[in-house]
Copies of this chain bind each other. A is one copy, B any other.
């Protein structure tokens, strides 16, 4: 399965779209927003560029995309007016895979520009562009960026580790779509190696695009300790495997299909991240924070339903491609119910890491 050509958050603004089902990601980014803001302010004060280059990698489509730009813009404008430094020209580069719904973001831009202009005196110089492509590889010209941000993108691998499949295309992790307690040990090993390879390529590519001293704020899911089947991060995939197994038992999904499905996901530990940053060598890791997302349900739906909608907006493109259209409704209904049932028994919270990296001086 070609991740670059298939994987995308659900586009548009409909009921199952990512735009309407990404409040959990927003909540999490908001928890650490002050760190993002601090980092960009510091960077701005130490470099005072005439033209500030900023990229959002895995921007997806929806309110979170523009709200990130607004936050950065306000922070820099605020700092520049306090310090009487001239406000820079802003270059904002939005990136996601080529199947992402950029049209919906672009349509919102005329009103967004108006809003930005209302806030500041006169006409701020801001240029927003879409750069489609995989962030596992080069996206932008040499040395053109000051600040790179990526929220909930980097736990997605460039591909399912190819060695996970045998010659018949069946997964050696039978019945599981991600690492679980019943997975053979080689499965975690393969996932870890794919993460290491991808993350190193990510760091190398970004170091070529950032100016010296440039910063990155990366937010991604991770796990607490060395156990690969740590409940905090495997739990949601286990339940998705079980929901798929229910559809197999109902005859709605072929068993064969389930046995050849796997997710391009990996939740690293702090140590795995640190080791890769050290090994690749282009960046200093200025800061690592670990936090849990509070789980207060939305106004009108259970936490399980909210999670099911979020996971659906993220996974539907891949699931439809593999299992065919039309199973999503019953799949995610089962899934929401299972999440509620499990959560009633045990309080499970996914772990998120926030990393602040600085491009090393050569």
**Interfacial residues, chain A to chain B (CB-CB below 8 A):** 4-5, 11, 51, 89, 91, 93, 98-103, 106-110, 125, 127-133, 138-142
Contacts and interface: CB of A to CB of B under 8 A. Distances in A.
Nearest to A103: B103
20 contacts: A5-B110, A51-B141, A91-B141, A98-B110, A99-B103, A100-B106, A101-B103, A102-B103, A106-B130, A109-B132, A125-B138, A125-B141, A127-B138, A127-B140, A128-B132, A129-B129, A129-B130, A129-B131, A130-B130, A130-B132
A238 to B, nearest CB: 32
A139 B127 contact: yes
Contacts of A142: 51, 89
A235 B91 CA distance: 43
B139 A131 contact: no
The 4 closest A-B CB pairs, nearest first, are A106-B132, A130-B130, A129-B129, A98-B106
* Copies of this chain assembled into the complex: 2
A341 to B, nearest CB: 38
Contacts of A108: 98
Contacts of A51: 141-142
Contacts of A98: 106-110
Contacts of A100: 106
A102 B133 CA distance: 14
A143 to B, nearest CB: 10
Contacts of A133: 109-110
B127 A4 contact: no
Contacts of A93: 129
| Candidate in A102, A109, A127, A133 with the most chain B CB atoms within 10 angstroms | A127
Nearest to A133: B109
Given A102-B103, A103-B102, A127 B110 contact: no
Contacts of A140: 127
Contacts of A107: 5, 98-99
A125 B141 CA distance: 8
Contacts of A4: 110
Nearest to A61: B103
A102 to B, nearest CB: 5
A168 to B, nearest CB: 28
A13 B132 CA distance: 19
A108 to B, nearest CB: 8
Contacts of A125: 138, 141
Contact of A102 (B5, B127, B130): B130
A48 B132 CA distance: 27
Contacts of A11: 103
A70 to B, nearest CB: 17
A52 B3 CA distance: 30
Contacts of A101: 103
Nearest to A142: B89
Contacts of A132: 106, 109, 128, 130
A98 B5 CA distance: 23
A121 to B, nearest CB: 18
A94 B327 CA distance: 38
A147 to B, nearest CB: 16
| Candidate in A106, A131, A139, A141 with the most chain B CB atoms within 10 angstroms | A106
A80 to B, nearest CB: 17
